Amino acid sequence: MVTKLMNRSCQSRMGFTLVELLVSLALIGVLVALLLPAVQRARTAARGIQCRNNLKQVALALHQFHETHGAFPPARIIEYQYAPVDENADRQGLDEPSWIIHLLPYLEQQAFFDQWDLYLPYANQPTEIKFRPLHVFLCPERHSVDDAIAEEKTVLIAAPCGCLAGIQTIPGGAVTDYVGNHGDLEPGASGLASDFYWGGQGTGVIISSAPAFEGTARLRGWSNKVRLGDISDGSSNTFLLGESHVPADQLNSAPYNGAAYHGRHLLHHCRVAGPGVPLAHHPRDQRASVYSFGSFHRGFIPFAMADGSVRPVSTVINTSLAGHLANRADGQTLGEF
């Protein structure tokens, strides 16, 4: 009898009352609520580090390209708007892949690069390669390689000034979050031959170039070359590339986030900064335009500078300062910012 009473007593002490169970669950809930923000902050920090590492890799690849070719790659190859009409049809309607394709051999993507013809129009490239995203060009705050595809879309295109609007059907393809610095709006954006988006007019580092030919017929490269020596304001004071402004509801959608390998549509792979084109404060910023830099990171945009360093730039810096950082040779040496 005594043994049975002791067993019953032990069994009763080993159990939980309903009140004890509820208190334990409440404590667990409080601990989880306290830990979740810390976990989220850690994940955000990790994504920020990965983003800057990606930018660093692309910047180093650009410098390796420069070392090999004596200049940074062209953003795209495009005739001057008012270039004399040439009787050779090969010189018209140039629509080659963007600067990103030039970098592939320097990003351990030689096999991918070999599938492209740099001097064929984008439309004539194999479909599979046009729709293949690369992890190194994607910010983890926005994309993974599984969700970085833009489909063909018909959109209304306009210059930063609001003029030159037109409806275009833009082909699909893989997107990028990292875009080249094409400069500022100093050359203009009003439909003139001097506007920034034509060959040789960009004030940045990754700029549109007129084509170079062998004799009078065969395309052999690009003619408007930007070298490190041309960055007279200092390579540490000049943007090389950064993140593009893409509204949260425009991911994988032209014109904000279209096919990055398609050279013709400049804003898919390059952006500008300065008066008239402010840095986006956040993805819902209504002041920023389709030509602006921006990011999903809170309070900053990561940029790779022309010296290869990577740094976060506050989204609230003066617009004129952003323009000086985008212009490679406007005579403004800025020091720390």
The confidence score (pLDDT) of residue 11 equals 52
Summarised one tens digit per residue, pLDDT across range 104-137 is: 999 999 999 999 988 788 999 999 999 999 999 9
Q: What is the pLDDT of residue 90?
A: 46
Distance, CA of 277 to CA of 56 (rounded, Å): 25
String of DSSP letters for 48-110: HHHHHHHHHHHHHHHHHHHHHHSSPPPS-B---TTPPP-S-GGGSS---B-HHHHHGGGGT-H
Please give the pLDDT value at position 335.
61
- Going by C-alpha positions, the residue among 112, 110, 255, 240 that lies closest to residue 182 is 240
Q: Are 158 and 262 in contact (CB under 8 A)?
A: no
Give residue 301's pLDDT: 97
pLDDT band (50, 70, 90) for residue 217: low
How far is residue 143's CA from residue 34's CA, in Å, rounded to a whole number?
A: 28
Residue position matching structure tokens 């439309």: 123
Whether pLDDT at 149 is above 70: yes
Domain boundaries, the chain: 33-326
What pLDDT score was predicted for residue 91?
43
For residues 183 and 196, the answer to whether their CB atoms sit within 8 Å is yes
pLDDT tens profile 247-294: 999 999 999 999 999 998 999 999 999 999 999 999 999 999 999 999
Of 44-58, 76-90, 164-178, which one has max mean pLDDT?
44-58
Cβ neighbours for 299, distance < 8 A, ≥ 6 positions apart: 314, 315
Distance CA(60)–CA(283), nearest Å, equals 28
**Per-residue pLDDT at 2 exceeds 50:** no
- Taking alpha carbons only, the member of 182, 295, 208 closest to residue 244 is 295
How distant, in Å, are the alpha carbons of 141, 244, 251, 322 from that of 303?
Answer: 15, 10, 20, 11
In this structure, is the dihedral angle defined by the CA atoms of residues 202, 302, 266 and 248, taken in order, positive or negative?
Answer: negative
- Is the pLDDT at 41 greater than 90? The verdict is no
Q: Is the pLDDT of residue 172 over 90?
A: yes
pLDDT of residue 81: 62
pLDDT value at position 79?
75
Q: How far apart are CA 280 and CA 295, in angstroms?
A: 7
- pLDDT of 88 higher than 50: no
- Give the pLDDT confidence score for residue 158 in this predicted structure: 64
